[in-house]
Amino acid sequence: MHFKKIFGILRCCQVSARHQTIEFIIIMKKCFLIACCLGSAMFLYSCGGGGTKESTSETEDTTATNEVNEIGATGDAVDISKPSDSKGVGPVKDYEVKPFNADLAAKGEMLFTSKCAVCHRLDTKLIGPPLQGVTERRTPEWIMNMALNPMEMQKSDPVAKALLDEYKTPMTDLGLTQEEAEAIYEYFRQVDGAK
């Protein structure tokens, strides 16, 4: 009698346990279906309207970190934030980069502060572009020609033209000598990590 009762209860449990497992599987299946639906909905959303949103926020990010970026991205032939191997136009045709010269760089820093800092900062845009990293995106010849011969550069060098398009104000000719331009270039090298 006792035994029968226990057996009965056990069977009952077994049945309900099996029932629960089946129910559990059904619930899991439902969850999976819902997850699939959500997943594909999100996928479609990101491919459609959401995608454009994402890419604009990406462009915003890059322009925030690198303000020089704007023009090239809008279809101009020259992207001014990208390195260029142009040597520019002017008196400096071929410049052989020598080992870093700290004295020359110190002279260059003084010249930069007195002649260029009116319009340039190293790390932010002022009237002209920030000049940190300039030795990485331009050749030595180009940098010196820009300092010595900005008018012609703005007229006929594609990078300088694109820069003028972006910054609107033309860079002025400061009447530097070639040695002074070289000193400023040496200072830019120091800013960019030369020792």
Name which of 5 and 168 has its Cβ closer to ligand HEC: 168
92 binds ligand HEC (CB under 6 A): no
116 binds ligand HEC (CB under 6 A): yes
Q: How far is the CB of 190 from ligand HEC (least distance, A)?
A: 14
Q: How far is the CB of 95 from ligand HEC (least distance, A)?
A: 14
Name which of 95 and 167 has its Cβ closer to ligand HEC: 167
105 binds ligand HEC (CB under 6 A): no
Site for ligand HEC in 21-50 (CB under 6 A): none
d(CA 23, CA 7): 24
Tokens of 37: 């639906």
Size of the site for ligand HEC (CB under 6 A): 25
- Among 141, 167, 182, 189, indicate the residue that binds ligand HEC (CB under 6 A): 167
Q: 28 to each of 18, 23, 25, 95, how far by Cα in Å?
A: 15, 9, 5, 71
d(CA 88, CA 99): 23
Q: Which of 108, 99, 103, 127 is nearest to 176 (CA)?
A: 108
Tell the burial category of 2 from Cβ atoms under 10 Å away from its Cβ (0-12, 13-18, 19+).
exposed
- Please state, as a whole number, how many other Cβ atoms lie within 10 Å of the Cβ of residue 147: 26
d(CA 8, CA 82): 81
78 binds ligand HEC (CB under 6 A): no
Q: Which residues bind ligand HEC (CB under 6 A)?
A: 115-116, 118-120, 127-129, 131, 134, 138, 143, 146-147, 154, 163-164, 167, 169-172, 174, 176, 184
